[in-house]
Structure 1
Amino acid sequence: MFKSIIFKFIIPYLIGLVIYLEGINFYTSATLVALFLIYLYKRQNINYFLLFLILGLLIGYTSFNFYNDRFLKLKDSKSFKGIVLKLSIDKRNCIIKGRDCKLYLYFDKSAEINVGDEIVVYGEIIKDIDMKKVYSRNLNAYVKSNKYKVIGKKSGFIIYIYKIHDKLKREMYKIDKISGPFISGLVTGDIDGIDSEIKSLLNDLNISHIVVVSGAHLGILALFVMIVFAFNFKLRYIFLLLFTTCYVILANFNPSAVRAYIMLLLTVFAQTLKKYPNKINILFTATFMMIAYNAFLIYDLGFILSISSTFGIILLSPIISTKLSNKLSVPISAFLFTLPIVLYINGRFSLISIPINMLIAGLVSILTITSLISVLLYILFNYNPLLLPILFCGRLLVNLLKIIQKFNIEFFVGNFNLILVIIYYVFILTLFNIIRTNRISKYAISIVLFILVFLNFNFKHELTINFIDVAQGDCIFIETPNKKTILIDTGAKFEGYNMAEKRVVPYIKRRGYNKIDVFIITHFHNDHAGGIEYILKNLNVKNKYAFMPNRDDFLDLKNRDKIIIDNVELNVITNEKAMNMESNEKCIVLSCKYKEFNFLLTADADLNLMTNISGEYEILKMPHHGSKYSFNEKVLEKLKTQTCIFTVGRNNFGHPAKEVIDLLEKNNIKYYRTDLDGNIQVTSNGKKYKIITQKMKRMIGYGN
């Protein structure tokens, strides 16, 4: 039955979605489809496969056009109207629901608004972000607001639930700024206000799921209703429907909560008909329904982890429990099925995550039950002391996790790609005999999988230069042939958003590193050095350099200094006559070389410095994000280059300048842009080089 569902319905459905949304090239798509057609032809399932493949393509097409059309209508708008549904603790961010759109708003300072207010916002759509992740949250756009006004107040059942949610998280935050947001996340899945240190703690220990509303939360609530209303069958199901619906609204329709809610409804409905459906059927029916509503949910990490962990528990727990106790089988099953996703996203996992999950599972369950009861009593009686016991227990649990973190051991893998994810799942399904094969076939599959794994790991000793997309800023991460690391700049830090925290450190760890051998700051402007403190706190940094540093822990670099690490040369070029400490004159340019491969990293150098540099470079990082005051025809004549890279994002300076783009195109020089291409990766063996780009943002509405 399991194989039938997977091969007939789920795989072709997902292949159709991915082919449409990701734009996988024709040959890859044809290969995937051909392999499954060959497999299914012998089993006479070809009609089902084709039907659900087409259905996946259609749903991908429908979702893409639905969200893209709305974005195109919104992108040039300057004013937006809607009702406030969710408001951050500091009131600098909120979600509003308009007539035909749902928007996430950013304010420059705390807004004087409340949940339920109807507001008009003046601002502009933020365009230099990955819109797929925006759409996966059932949002239509992010908006940077410069002005707003409240034009009314709305009421109603759903608004009332949202107001309860907002009041609850604010009261808990007011009582305890550490455990308040933690308990709020435990109860409602809303992690607003959780300190970045606590988020890193949960992520490092692979236990972020405890602040995500899941089936366990709804199961506890359902059990409570069943016990209280055991005397009356009809009342039991009426209140079960009422309580769980309110709870999903309270959780802001979190995808994990919605998935559990749909599964619960399908189970209850089947039981009223005296049917006992297969759990896997219910799981995939719920998944099918949610993805049919919004195909971009396949980009929501919480949703993916929720589905995979539930699937693993349903599938593997009965098998593992024959060898081990039930207490061990559930966390092990969830771990085995979420491990490849964690490796793909983070590039690492905690070696003690299974014992930690076993240790805290009971504590979290008890704390969740008591928290739900305390919250319910607080809602009924509006009495703050009712929250004190659970907040105290929450603080104790956080302190316990901080102690455990000191003994954490992380295993770094790096570059765990989608092919390896697929290979892993095939291996697990074969190992546990879920895909039934004879002994010879099992050995054959194992050999093929081993070969594929071997081919997917890069054993070449190559130089890799990563231009990380940090919007309007610079951050370059270099991996030497023997795995030494160089980090040049960090990107910016804004109020509530640190590029080092959100993009740089996760990217470096995903590549399989936790240390930086050489850390260079080209100059101390925010868009280049805003994330220094976060980098130093979260990575093991050995050597720190800067030109005329304004802090004691950085060594001073001078003109013509040279740094050599693993045969990679970094030659320092500076303007020694720079007088204005705040201008771009005070900036390092790095002329870099690996064997016969040369590349020039120019930071924000101006024309005074650029006109004094000459040479042949395969790769040129464009100075000052493509400013016309840093690059012209004279500079190009002195710098013979093949490929240019712009590190740029949304800005008010006109970067990259039209004159600069025209100059490159006139001379047939190829160029890449982080605002359009995402992360840009250059690899070289010392002679030849190749470039790989993320190329996701071009697909959505505003790309080329």
Structure 2
Amino acid sequence: MRRKLFFCGVSQWASIMLIDTFGLPISLLTMTFLLISAKFSNSISNIMDDSTKKLIVLGAVVGLSAGFFRGFEFDKIQQSVNLKEEADFFTGYVEQSYIGEDCHYLINLNNYNGYNAKVIVKEYDKNKKRHDVKNKHNAHIKTNFLPGDLVRLQGKPELPKDAGNPRCFDYRKYLRAKEIHFTMTASSMKKIGQEQGAVVKLKRKLHVAKLRFINNIDSSEAVRGVIAGILFGSKELLDEDLYDAFRKNSTAHILAVSGLHVGIIYLLYRKIFRKFPNKGISAVFIIILLIYGQMTMWTPSVTRAIILTLLAIAGNFLNRAYDFVTAISATSFIMLIINPLQAQLPSYQMSFLAVLGIGFLLPILEYVMPSWLAVMTSVQLPMSIYGAYMFNYLSFGGFVFNLPTIALTALIVPVGMAQYIICFMGVEFHLLNKIIWGLGFLVSKINLKGDEIINLGRDVISPPLYIVVSSILLIFFFSSECAYIHRKRALKKEVLLAAAAIFILALPFVKADITDFDKAGFVFVDVGQGDCLHVKSPQGKAMLIDGGGSRDYNLGEKTLKPYLLKNRFGSLDLAAITHWDMDHSKGIEELSRCYEIRGFFDGKHELLLKNLEEEEFKITVLWPLDKRVAAVDNDRSNVFMVENKGIRVLVTGDISSAVEDTLVNLYGNQLKAHVLKVSHHGSRYSSSPKFLDTVKPKAAVIGVGKNYYGHPADSVLKLLEERKIEIYRTDLDGAVGICGNEKEWKVVTNRSRRN
């Protein structure tokens, strides 16, 4: 059986994912069960020989061991982080200096509590002299420190937070996969030395050349951002709308320095090598590859492409056959030994999915369609399934826009590399600048106008993870050489049994996809400093009450929409607001422009609420008494009593203590609720003792984020604590869910508070 290493690589990756999701005991039990099942299964035995099974065991052992020990070491360093209030002093070497309007650095603290810790540092003081690159664009591209600088900095370490909402982007997990232990905003940074050595000097020169290259491009920020993305994988300068157009057109891969870029360089090498076949040419090419890897800060896709290319070169010189899928598997095995935690990175997963699609599907599709279409289909098929789950978007734009985009990229990469070398030498060549600008401008326009004129994609809810994993594995299996041979030998039963085994092997992903919030009737969504309540009726109706809002951030599109789609809500039956303050209504307005909402309630037209009612689901507006006037200020906030399967939740908007006491006089014991949404984010002007004693909640939820208003007030927290009311805060607990019914209910949170 060929391509045995593929099964080893899949086993290694799956083991790391298991241990990262479930921990060591459950992972060991699961892998043991699966391996024993594979050993004694006749259908598997007919397809796999003993050496393949041994490689699968090797992959599982290596994956579990590496994942456990690296994860254990990482967690131990994080647990040693001192989260005290006052700032402290640290010393470390700058490993990377990020391009962007703000100064961000990756710093290696060589002796942090006895460990080697990595930290992302944002420099607070922006009034220092910038390095080296002074021209009209210098206000945007700047840095105070270069790789290799030894710096002394002052600041407070901050542990990255887990995802605020279920199934949404997890910043802590993202940094963990990159082996970055904590973040910090430095109040002061000072260079006190410099790391020595030829490699460090080269890194510094490469970084300065990168800054000079980008600054020399005489163009708008949007085009400069595209060129920086194509050549260096730097997304910090990209315009959000432009990047969104690339994403919708399925061409965003060119902005991540994908293997395509290395492939273009490799094709140039092959042409030169055919004319001048000597080892010196290969040695120069290998050096160029290593320099390009450093330029792009060794992103997973570039690392993968470079290792694949080096294996191809080694195969040529050793006169050994080169199998693409085997080389991909070997590359993955090497990368996951170096850093097993990166198995969780979407960039790592997408990088290997794309090339595996080519490795498995291309040989078959080339028989039934033109080569260019076969290549794109090979990549798009597995990536579309993955993209639907990860990004909630399904697009066929890649078939239209990839051809011109890749053609232009094939010109930008060699011309850009030539200009970069010129910048590295400290020389300027304005003609190349203008050529690069023109090519970057065309790429930008094709994708922007293409998205406006031909919209070939749509938003989708996340399919179940189990279906995603098993579908991709089945596509690769049925297009494999092994399945083809067995079909030719009329061993259809063994093929079908092996396919069934894939479904069994993917079963752990059923558990990985389940969250505590799936059965919650109420979810207080984490929207930062603001309120948002997602209500799910027993019969599947869904509504939002408030949607948060931020002055500088599109919370509706970037927080609410992903939350809803990832939790499999393709539309809302109703959106309601308590009042028109920005931190309650703006998110709803933004969401309505990019997501289906069938009804809207702002205090008038109570019939909309009546239409949602079911046998175990009811919404009552308690305030204001005059329903004809929309809620325009805090004390005219709509106050809702929502009853769902017997659980009563009182939603109070931003009303003051005066209105609370009025409600007590009007309704008395009718205000009693299981859960209270604390008014005005825990302001000291709300939550009167009389009101709390009347409502008698078992739990109180405060919608709050980073703010300068003193929310929640200590006095309010004390009142809640004195009454033994459980306090939940979206800034500390993330999303808060209420599960169960009147007789038996519980509160779940998306974050676990750390001491």
The secondary structure found in structure 2 opposite 1:105 is: strand
Distance in 2 (alpha carbons) for counterparts of 1:608 and 1:59: 60
Answer yes or no: is the 8 Å Cα contact 2:460–2:570 preserved in 1. no
Answer yes or no: is the 8 Å Cα contact 1:85–1:116 preserved in 2. no
- Asked if 1:56 is matched to 2:60, the reply is no
* Percent identity between the two aligned chains: 21
For structure 1, which runs of at least 5 residues remain unmatched after alignment? 547-556
Higher relative contact order (CA 8 A, sep 6+): 2
The secondary structure found in structure 1 opposite 2:543 is: strand
How far off is 1:254 after superposition? 1.5
C-alpha offsets along residues 417-441 of structure 1, whole Å, 9 cap, x if unaligned? 3211222124323543556364345
C-alpha offsets along residues 643-700 of structure 1, whole Å, 9 cap, x if unaligned? 5545455678887788888988898877765456544555679998787654xx54xx
1:503 alignment counterpart: 559
Report the more deviating stretch, 399-408 or 482-491: 482-491
1:122 alignment counterpart: 154
TM-score (norm 2): 0.77
1:14 alignment counterpart: 13
C-alpha offsets along residues 216-266 of structure 1, whole Å, 9 cap, x if unaligned? 211222333444565362221221121111111111222211121222223
How far off is 1:164 after superposition? 1.8
C-alpha offsets along residues 486-523 of structure 1, whole Å, 9 cap, x if unaligned? 3444445476x654454333223334556555444445
Answer yes or no: is the 8 Å Cα contact 1:90–1:110 preserved in 2. no
Distance in 2 (alpha carbons) for counterparts of 1:329 and 1:492: 45
Distance in 1 (alpha carbons) for counterparts of 2:749 and 2:707: 22
- Seen in structure 2, the aligned counterparts of structure 1 residues 219 and 445 have a Cα distance that, compared at 3 Å, is closer
2:140 alignment counterpart: none
- Asked if 1:91 is matched to 2:141, the reply is no
1:551 alignment counterpart: none
How far off is 1:446 after superposition? 7.4
Q: Aligned match of 1:171 in 216, 239, 244?
A: 216
1:549 alignment counterpart: none
C-alpha offsets along residues 343-390 of structure 1, whole Å, 9 cap, x if unaligned? 221233114443433454334334444444444445453234422222
- Seen in structure 2, the aligned counterparts of structure 1 residues 335 and 245 have a Cα distance that, compared at 3 Å, is same
1:183 alignment counterpart: 227
Counterpart residue identity of residue 492, structure 2:
R
- Asked if 1:422 is matched to 2:469, the reply is yes
Distance in 1 (alpha carbons) for counterparts of 2:53 and 2:731: 42
Distance in 2 (alpha carbons) for counterparts of 1:530 and 1:148: 38
TM-score (norm 1): 0.82
Query: Counterparts of 1:550-589 in structure 2 under 5 Å?
Result: 557=603, 563-567=609-613, 569-574=618-623, 587-589=637-639
Report the more deviating stretch, 335-344 or 145-154: 145-154
Counterpart residue identity of residue 226, structure 2:
F
Answer yes or no: is the 8 Å Cα contact 1:595–1:687 preserved in 2. no
Counterpart residue identity of residue 56, structure 1:
G
1:599 alignment counterpart: 649
How far off is 1:309 after superposition? 0.7
Aligned residues: 680
The secondary structure found in structure 1 opposite 2:206 is: helix
The secondary structure found in structure 1 opposite 2:221 is: coil
- Asked if 1:197 is matched to 2:241, the reply is yes
Distance in 2 (alpha carbons) for counterparts of 1:488 and 1:636: 22
How far off is 1:332 after superposition? 1.0
1:346 alignment counterpart: 391
1:703 alignment counterpart: 754
Which of 1 and 2 has greater Rg?
2
Counterpart residue identity of residue 220, structure 1:
I
The secondary structure found in structure 2 opposite 1:190 is: coil
The secondary structure found in structure 2 opposite 1:599 is: strand
How far off is 1:196 after superposition? 1.0
Distance in 2 (alpha carbons) for counterparts of 1:111 and 1:589: 48
Distance in 2 (alpha carbons) for counterparts of 1:29 and 1:671: 37
Distance in 2 (alpha carbons) for counterparts of 1:643 and 1:50: 49
The secondary structure found in structure 2 opposite 1:224 is: helix
Distance in 1 (alpha carbons) for counterparts of 2:749 and 2:307: 38
The secondary structure found in structure 2 opposite 1:175 is: coil
Answer yes or no: is the 8 Å Cα contact 1:133–1:296 preserved in 2. no
How far off is 1:313 after superposition? 0.9
Query: Counterparts of 1:161-560 in structure 2 under 5 Å?
Result: 161-172=206-217, 175-228=219-272, 230-231=275-276, 233-358=278-403, 360-380=405-425, 381-406=427-452, 407-432=454-479, 436=483, 438-440=491-493, 465-478=522-535, 485-491=542-548, 493=550, 499-511=555-567, 518-522=574-578, 527-528=583-584, 531=587, 534-540=590-596, 546=602, 557=603
- Asked if 1:140 is matched to 2:181, the reply is yes
Counterpart residue identity of residue 89, structure 1:
G
How far off is 1:306 after superposition? 0.5
Distance in 2 (alpha carbons) for counterparts of 1:171 and 1:301: 32
- Seen in structure 2, the aligned counterparts of structure 1 residues 604 and 134 have a Cα distance that, compared at 3 Å, is farther
Distance in 2 (alpha carbons) for counterparts of 1:384 and 1:268: 35
Distance in 2 (alpha carbons) for counterparts of 1:383 and 1:582: 60
- Seen in structure 2, the aligned counterparts of structure 1 residues 352 and 214 have a Cα distance that, compared at 3 Å, is closer
Distance in 2 (alpha carbons) for counterparts of 1:561 and 1:79: 61
For structure 2, which runs of at least 5 residues remain unmatched after alignment? 111-115, 131-142, 163-171, 665-669
Distance in 2 (alpha carbons) for counterparts of 1:311 and 1:221: 21
